[in-house]
Amino acid sequence: MAKRGGFPGGGMPGNMSNLMKQAQRMQRQMEENQKELETKEFSAKAGGGAVEAVVYGNKTLKGITISPDAVDPEDVEMLQDLIVAAVNEAMKQADEAGGAMMNSLTGGLGGGLPF
């Protein structure tokens, strides 16, 4: 009587075993890189350097530096806009670094995969 399905000996074939080992290695690398990214700092300036924002790779705001020249009580909105612009740019840099990290690990295959 012929066997149906399965693998001889009940184990995984060599290719599947290697694939699982590679996936586990990639997961460890991703975790290590994520930890490193979380502590990395990204900074951006706006208004010719009047405002500087610094964020961590996990998109936590570390700090804002505002030049005294940027503080105009008559134009608070401009200062607010400069702060938003600097923070957004620093966050964008953190996002791009995270994306680059993922691409380096997955060889650009990461897009659209459910895991």
Average pLDDT over residues 81-92: 96
Could you give the 3-state DSSP secondary structure of residue 74?
coil
- Local confidence band at 34 (pLDDT 50, 70, 90 cut-offs): confident
**Full-prediction pTM beyond 0.75?**
no
Nearest C-alpha neighbor of 79 from the set 31, 47, 114: 47
Average pLDDT over residues 50-79: 93
> pLDDT tens digits, residue range 64-77?
999 999 999 999 99
Q: How far apart are CA 44 and CA 70, in angstroms?
A: 16
Residue 93: which H helix or E strand, with range?
A: helix 76-106
Output the furthest CA–CA distance in the chain (Å, rounded). 91
Locus of tokens 């957004």? 88
Sheet containing strand 61-66, edge to edge, reads 41-46, 51-56, 61-66
Residue type, 94: A
- Local confidence band at 45 (pLDDT 50, 70, 90 cut-offs): very high
